[in-house]
């Protein structure tokens, strides 16, 4: 299996990636500052134009374990899925696995950005990421998940965890009795701002956004 990488430098290019033959390196002169939504959308569009069979998002704070693509190919073959959902381990900044599991993740009530694997039939729903408003960037994965659930695609989830997510949310560390790492991030104030923006938005604008996304948006 041949794998290529499309790396989008969101205002902060690292020239060393140019040394790899299987890498397309697209550099944005200024950072989009929208939780990765712009570079993610551009990378997905470029991947479609490259005529790949499978596309996967991969944020900079995520890693794929060595058994990931074997599990993905087996998952597509065994289930006939059009969109595959990988599962994730939470990681400390040093790469060690945190012994904590999100109930939302386990019950497929939430899917992290880097856990989506799209076959060709699912490419159209992947493009909907570009319709997520900047003001909803902090809940972009939840907004996108609403689009996925309304897509009528055949979706299957892998039974094992093959993605690693570098966790900087203090609540996870407190839940296991550890101090949050330096640089940890709080998100609840941003959630509140997103909810306020959405609930006070002009109704016509709100309906247009939901029509473009193909889903009803609820910010809770």
Question: Cα separation of 178 and 150, whole Å?
Answer: 39
Q: What is the pLDDT of residues 117-162, one digit of tens each?
A: 999 999 999 999 999 999 999 999 999 999 999 999 999 999 999 9
What is the maximum alpha-carbon separation in the chain? 49
pLDDT(15) > 90 = no
Q: Which of 210, 61, 93 is nearest to 147 (CA)?
A: 210
Q: What is the pLDDT of residues 73-91, one digit of tens each?
A: 999 999 999 999 999 999 9
Indicate left, alpha or beta for 219 from its phi (over 0: left) and psi (-120 to 50: alpha): beta
State CA 110 to chain mean position distance: 11
Q: What is the pLDDT of residues 186-216, one digit of tens each?
A: 888 888 999 999 999 999 999 999 999 999 9
- Confirm if 32 and 26 have CB atoms less than 8 A apart: no
């Amino acid at each position: 299996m041949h794998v290529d990488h499309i790396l989008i430098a969101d205002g902060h290019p690292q020239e060393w990636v140019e040394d790899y033959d299987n890498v397309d390196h697209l550099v944005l002169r200024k950072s989009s500052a929208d939780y990765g939504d712009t570079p993610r959308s551009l990378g997905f569009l470029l991947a479609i134009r490259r005529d790949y069979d499978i596309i996967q998002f991969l944020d900079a704070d995520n890693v794929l374990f060595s058994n990931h693509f074997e599990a993905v190919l087996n998952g597509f073959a065994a289930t006939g899925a059009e969109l595959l959902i990988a599962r994730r381990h939470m990681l400390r900044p040093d790469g060690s696995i945190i012994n904590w599991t999100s109930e939302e993740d386990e019950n497929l009530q939430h899917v992290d950005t880097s856990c989506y694997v799209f076959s060709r039939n699912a490419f159209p729903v992947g493009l909907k990421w570009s319709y997520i408003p900047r003001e909803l960037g902090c809940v972009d994965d939840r907004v996108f998940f609403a689009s996925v659930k309304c897509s009528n695609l055949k979706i299957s989830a892998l039974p094992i965890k093959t993605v690693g997510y570098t966790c900087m949310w203090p609540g996870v560390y407190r839940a296991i009795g550890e101090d949050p790492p330096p640089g940890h991030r709080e998100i609840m104030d941003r959630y509140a701002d997103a909810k306020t923006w959405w609930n006070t938005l002009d109704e016509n604008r709100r309906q247009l956004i939901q029509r473009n996304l193909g889903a009803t948006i609820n910010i809770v």
